[in-house]
Amino acid sequence: MLQEIEGTYLKLLDGETDKILEEWRGLTETLGRKVKVVTGEGVIEGVAVDVASDGSLIVEDLAGVKRFIYAGDVIHLT
């Protein structure tokens, strides 16, 4: 496990953030699913569509607006 962390850390130091994000996208079970996100500002329902370069989760809400989620509880609805 430490070797995995070290490998990712070295990619980060080398500026390979695109590779890290691509790996993250491939490992997450959240993208493409309907979700409910509970934040300090309220509740957002929609589809998790991507992970932004800053690490935020992008959720397209029911009105079609893309919301960037930096903190909150994500509940899979499907």
Domain segments of the chain as ranges: 2-76
Each residue's pLDDT tens digit in the chain (78 positions)?
788 888 777 877 777 788 888 888 888 899 999 999 999 999 999 999 999 988 899 999 999 999 999 999 999 998
Q: Give the domain 2-76 fold.
A: SH3 type barrels. (2.30.30)
76: amino acid identity, one letter:
H
How many Cα atoms are found within 13 Å in the side-chain-facing hemisphere of 63? 4
The count of other CB atoms within 10 Å of the CB of residue 7 is 12
Task: Tell me what pLDDT residue 49 has.
Answer: 97
23: amino acid identity, one letter:
E
pTM of the model: 0.80
